[in-house]
Structure 1
Amino acid sequence: MSAQLWNDPAIILLFLLIILLVDNLWSLYLLLREIKLIYRSKYVPEVLRPYLSQDLFERMRSYKLHKSWFIIVNTLIVVVICGCLELYFGFYALLWKLVDRCAIWPWMEHEIWMSIIYVLFLSIYILVKSLPGKIYEKCCIIKLVKQPKRRWSECIAFEVLDITCSLLIMAAVVAVVVSMVRAFHELAFIGIYLMAVLLTALVIFIVPCVIDPFLGKRVQLENQALRLGLTELTHRVGFPMQYVYIIRVRDQSVGSNAFFFGSCCLKRIVIFDTLLLNRGMANAAQLPEEEQGKGLPNEHVLAVVAHELGHWKKGHFYKAIVMFQLHLLITLLLFVICFAHGPIYQAVGFEEGVEPVIAGFIIIFGFVLTPYLTISNVIMLTMTRQFEYEADKFAFQLGYAAHLRMALLKLYADNLTFPLSDPCYSSWNHTHPMMLHRLQRLESLEIYRM
C-alpha cells in the first residue's frame, strides 16, 4: 500500500500541498503567539527601565507588531497561496517548457545552459512576486524605527550588485552540480558532499581575511585601560591578544556586537567599535554629538569578550562545523532517495521521463524534505542557544556575571531589539536565548555559588 502511494503522482502532489500548508501555517501560528505576547506587553520590563525609555519601547513594540502582521499577510499571499497554485498547476514544469522554447541555438539545448536559464527565469519570477512586499517593507515599516539614512542611489546600487553576484554564483553552482549529476549519476552526491566540505573549509580560511574590508576598517584601540584589561583577560585564558580585532564599522545599523570565528591561527574575536564607549576613541569630541556617550564601559566590554572567549574555550566553532556536516550528510542521503524517483517530477507537472536535475533540486529541497529540514533546524537552533548559555557560564566563572548582565541590558536597548518573545516562537526561530532568560540563568548561577 505504501509503495502504491509513493508511486502515485496525484498522492505525492497532495502530500506536497499538505507539507507546504502545514509548515507555513505552523510558522504563522507561532508568529500569532508572538503577536499576542507583544499586545500584552505594554510596559518596559522592570529590569530594563534604567536603559530603555517607555517611548522607545513603544516604537520598538509598534515596529515589531507592524512587521509581524506584514509577515503574516506576505506569507499567506506569496508563499501559501502562490505556492499551492504553483504546485497544483505545474508551474515548475511549465517554466521548463518555456526555457526549452527559448533554446534558439543548438548550444542552448544542453542541460547546463537550460538549467542556468531556468534559474534565471525563476529568480526573476520570485523577485517580481516579492517586489511589492519588499517595497512596502523598505518604504513603510523601516520608518517606524530610527535607522541611518541612505541615499536611494546607494540602496539601488547595492541591491543590483547583490542580485548580480548572487546570480553569478548560482550559475556557477548550477553548472557544477548538473555536470556532476549527469556524469556520475547517484555517485555524484558523494562529490557534492565533498564539494560542500571543501567550500566549508574555504569559508573558514577566507572569512577571517575579508572581515576588515566587508565590515569596516581594522583600527588600533586608543583606550589604553581597555587594552590592558583585554591583554590580561586573554592571557588568563590562553587566547593570543593579536587575534582580537577592533573594527570601525561602516554601517552603524549592524548595531553593537562582538563575535568569535575561526580556528587555529585563523581564529578571531572581532569587536565592533560601536560596542565601545565613544567608539573606543580617546577624544570623544571627534564624534558627532549624537554618538557621544554611547557604547559600553570597559568592564562591560571585558564581560562581552569573556563570553566570546567562552565560545572559543568550549569548542563551539568545531561543534557547529561537525553539526552542520552531519546535517548536510543526512540531507544528501535523503535527497538521493528522492532524486531518481520519477513520480515526484510527474506530481509537479513534468511528463514521464523528463527529470531535469535543477528542477529536482528545487522540488525536493523546497518541498519534499521540508519536514526533515524543519526538525533539523529546530535541533540546531536548540544547540546554538545552549552554546550561548555555556559561554555565559564561562564568563560567570571568570567573574564577569554582574558586568555581563549589565552589558546585555544595554546592548538589547541600544540595538533596538524587542526584549520579549514567546518561548515557543523563540525555540523555532531564534539562535540566541531570550535576554530575560539569559539574565535569569546568570542570576541563578550567582545564587547557587553563594
Structure 2
Amino acid sequence: MSEHFWDDPVIILYLLLVIHISDNLWAIYLLLREIHVVYKVQMVPDLIRPYLPQELFEKMRLHKLHKGWFTIVNTMVMVIIMGVLELYFGLYSWLWDVATQCAIAQWMKHEVIVSLIFVFILSIYFWIKSLPGAIYEKLCIPSLHNRQKSSVAAIIVKVIVDIIVGILVTTMMVVALVYLTLWLGVFTALGLYLQSLIITFGLMIIIPFLIDPFLGKRVTLENTNLRTELDNLTKKVEFPTHQVVIIKVHDPSIGSNAFFYGFGCLKRIIIFDGLLLNRGKRDVSDLSPEEIGKGLRDEQVVAVVCHELGHWSHGHFCKTVVTFQVYLIVMLILFTITFSHGPIYEAVGFAPGVQPIIVGFFIIFGFVLTPYLTMANFVMLSLGRCYEYQADKFAFRLGYARELRTALLKLYADNLVFPVTDRCYSSWHDSHPTMIDRLERLDSLLNYGS
C-alpha cells in the first residue's frame, strides 16, 4: 500500500465507489421522502381546490407515484449497480482498448480519433443501457400533457435530425477538449474557463435573436386592455415596454410561463402565449377544448410580469452569472488538482502512465467531483429560491401580491404541477420554492407587511 491514500489506486477505487453509491442513495432517500408525502395527501389541498378538480389531482398523484417508484428502481439497477460494476471491472479502460484496436490506419491512431471512437462506443453502450427504462417510461407512464400527434414521417425526420445534431455537437466537443488539453497542458483549466466565458457571453448576445425561431413566433398582443396595463407597469419601473415580448410557442403543451433574462439592451421579459387567458385570442374557435379557459386574467398576467420585473430590479440575472463564475472557478481548480493524477486512472483499470484525455473528463466530472457538484448545485438552487422570494416581495411592494397569489394557484393547476412536495426533497431539486411556501410568504406580506 502506498504511503498516502491519494496515491493508492485501490483506495481511490473504493472512494469512487463510495462517492457513487452515497450520492445516488441520497437521491433515492429524498425521493422516498417525496413519495411518502404524496401517499399521505389524497385530497386536493384547500388552497388550490377551486382550480384543480379532484379527478385530475388523483391522476397527477398516481402519475407522480408511478414515476417516483420507476426512478428509484431504475436508479438502483441502472445507475448504482451498473455504475459499480463499470468502475470495479474497468469498463472505461476496456472500451479505450477497443477504441484503440478499431484505429486500424496510422492516421486513426491520433488521440483525437481514438477519443471520437471511444465516445461513439460509449454512447452506444449508454443508449443500450437506458433503452429498457426509456421504453417502460414511454409505454407505461404516459405524459399528463396532451401533446400534438406527429406523423410517422415527421417522427423519423426528427429522430434523424436529432442524431445528426448530436453527432456534430459531440464531435466538436471531443475535438475541442482533446486539442485544448494537448496544446495547453497544465493550463487546460484556464483554457476551459476562457472558453466558457466566450460561450456564456456569446449566448447572451445571440439568444435574443434565437428566441423567435426556436421557442416560437413573436406575436402582437391582441388584448388592448392588457397592453395598456403592461405599458403602465413598465413605465412605472422604467423598464422598456418593447422588451416585453409575447411568444406563440410551437408546442402548445409547453405550459404557461414567463421569464426574465439578459442585461442592458439585451434584457427581455418573455411571455408564453399559454400564460394569457385562451392564449390571448379573441376567437377561441381554433383552440382545443383543453385550452379554453386556461391562462390568467389581465391583472394576474400583469402581476406575473411584475414578479419578473423584480428579478430585473434586483439584478438576479447578473448575480446568477457571477455565482456561476465562482462555481466554475472552484470546479476547475479541483479539476486541475485531480485531472493529471495518475492513480485515478489506474483505479479505473488503466496501466500506469496511460491517461487518455477524454476518459479523464468522464471520470473526473462523472465521479471524482460528484460531492462538490452536488453541494454546489444545492447552494445555487437555494439562491434561486431566495431570488424568487425577493421577486415576489417586489410585486407586493407595487401592490400586486393578491393578484400574484391567485396567478400562482391557477398556474400550478394549469401546468399540472403536483401542489404538495417534501421540503427537503424540494430544497435539493427545485429552483423555485414550493407553492405552499410561496403562498405562505405572500400571505405573511399581506397580513404583516414583512
Q: 1:287 to 1:143 in 2, by over 3 A?
A: closer
CA distance in structure 2 between the aligned counterparts of 1:161 and 1:137, rounded to whole angstroms: 23
Note the alpha carbon deviations across 1:214-234, whole angstroms, 9 max, x for none. 111110000000000010011
User: Pairwise mapping of residues 226-237 of structure 1 onto structure 2 (< 5 A)?
Assistant: 226-237=226-237
Note the alpha carbon deviations across 1:116-159, whole angstroms, 9 max, x for none. 11111111111111011111112220256544444454445434
| SS of residue paired to 1:337 | helix
The question of 1:253 aligning with 2:253 is answered yes
User: Pairwise mapping of residues 371-450 of structure 1 onto structure 2 (< 5 A)?
Assistant: 371-449=371-449
One-letter amino acid of the structure 1 residue matched with residue 111 of structure 2: E
Residue 323 of structure 1 corresponds to 323
CA distance in structure 1 between the aligned counterparts of 2:362 and 2:3, rounded to whole angstroms: 24
CA distance in structure 1 between the aligned counterparts of 2:232 and 2:323, rounded to whole angstroms: 33
The question of 1:17 aligning with 2:14 is answered no
Task: Tell me by how many angstroms 1:189 deviates.
Answer: 1.6
One-letter amino acid of the structure 2 residue matched with residue 164 of structure 1: I
User: Pairwise mapping of residues 263-282 of structure 1 onto structure 2 (< 5 A)?
Assistant: 263-282=263-282
Residue 124 of structure 1 corresponds to 124
CA distance in structure 1 between the aligned counterparts of 2:151 and 2:324, rounded to whole angstroms: 38
CA distance in structure 2 between the aligned counterparts of 1:23 and 1:285, rounded to whole angstroms: 51
Q: What 5-or-longer segments of structure 2 have no aligned partner?
A: none
TM-score, length of structure 2 as denominator length: 0.97
Which segments of structure 1 move beyond 6 Å, counting only runs of 4 or more?
A: none
User: Pairwise mapping of residues 56-135 of structure 1 onto structure 2 (< 5 A)?
Assistant: 56-135=56-135
One-letter amino acid of the structure 1 residue matched with residue 241 of structure 2: M
Note the alpha carbon deviations across 1:269-304, whole angstroms, 9 max, x for none. 110111101211233334344422221110000000
CA distance in structure 2 between the aligned counterparts of 1:264 and 1:166, rounded to whole angstroms: 33
Task: Tell me by how many angstroms 1:392 deviates.
Answer: 0.6
One-letter amino acid of the structure 2 residue matched with residue 426 of structure 1: S
Residue 241 of structure 1 corresponds to 241
| SS of residue paired to 2:128 | helix
Task: Tell me by how many angstroms 1:188 deviates.
Answer: 2.1
Aligned length: 450
User: Pairwise mapping of residues 354-369 of structure 1 onto structure 2 (< 5 A)?
Assistant: 354-369=354-369
One-letter amino acid of the structure 2 residue matched with residue 342 of structure 1: G
| SS of residue paired to 2:4 | helix
CA distance in structure 2 between the aligned counterparts of 1:296 and 1:162, rounded to whole angstroms: 35
Q: 1:218 to 1:149 in 2, by over 3 A?
A: same
Note the alpha carbon deviations across 1:416-448, whole angstroms, 9 max, x for none. 010111011001111110001000000101111
8 Å contact from structure 1 (residues 243, 269) kept in 2 = yes
One-letter amino acid of the structure 2 residue matched with residue 197 of structure 1: L
Task: Tell me by how many angstroms 1:40 deviates.
Answer: 0.3
Note the alpha carbon deviations across 1:5-43, whole angstroms, 9 max, x for none. 000000000000000000000100000000000000100
Kindly, what percent of the aligned residue pairs are identical? 55
One-letter amino acid of the structure 2 residue matched with residue 239 of structure 1: F
Task: Tell me by how many angstroms 1:178 deviates.
Answer: 1.0
Note the alpha carbon deviations across 1:20-76, whole angstroms, 9 max, x for none. 000000100000000000000100000111000100000000110000011001111
Which has the higher mean CA deviation after the structures are superposed, 177-186 or 59-68?
Answer: 177-186
8 Å contact from structure 2 (residues 145, 253) kept in 1 = no
CA distance in structure 1 between the aligned counterparts of 2:246 and 2:323, rounded to whole angstroms: 29
CA distance in structure 1 between the aligned counterparts of 2:149 and 2:405, rounded to whole angstroms: 31
Residue 8 of structure 1 corresponds to 8
Residue 223 of structure 1 corresponds to 223
Note the alpha carbon deviations across 1:220-252, whole angstroms, 9 max, x for none. 000000000010011111110111111111111
The question of 1:306 aligning with 2:293 is answered no
Residue 45 of structure 1 corresponds to 45
Q: 1:320 to 1:39 in 2, by over 3 A?
A: same
One-letter amino acid of the structure 1 residue matched with residue 27 of structure 2: S
One-letter amino acid of the structure 1 residue matched with residue 26 of structure 2: W
Q: 1:145 to 1:176 in 2, by over 3 A?
A: closer
CA distance in structure 1 between the aligned counterparts of 2:390 and 2:362, rounded to whole angstroms: 37
8 Å contact from structure 2 (residues 2, 8) kept in 1 = no
Note the alpha carbon deviations across 1:155-213, whole angstroms, 9 max, x for none. 45434423432331121121112112112211122111100010000111121111111
One-letter amino acid of the structure 2 residue matched with residue 113 of structure 1: I
8 Å contact from structure 2 (residues 310, 390) kept in 1 = yes
User: Pairwise mapping of residues 30-41 of structure 1 onto structure 2 (< 5 A)?
Assistant: 30-41=30-41
Residue 339 of structure 2 corresponds to 339
8 Å contact from structure 1 (residues 6, 12) kept in 2 = yes
8 Å contact from structure 1 (residues 260, 270) kept in 2 = yes
CA distance in structure 2 between the aligned counterparts of 1:113 and 1:263, rounded to whole angstroms: 41
One-letter amino acid of the structure 1 residue matched with residue 162 of structure 2: D
CA distance in structure 2 between the aligned counterparts of 1:29 and 1:220, rounded to whole angstroms: 47
CA distance in structure 2 between the aligned counterparts of 1:242 and 1:104, rounded to whole angstroms: 59
8 Å contact from structure 1 (residues 216, 248) kept in 2 = yes
Q: 1:268 to 1:145 in 2, by over 3 A?
A: closer
| SS of residue paired to 1:270 | strand
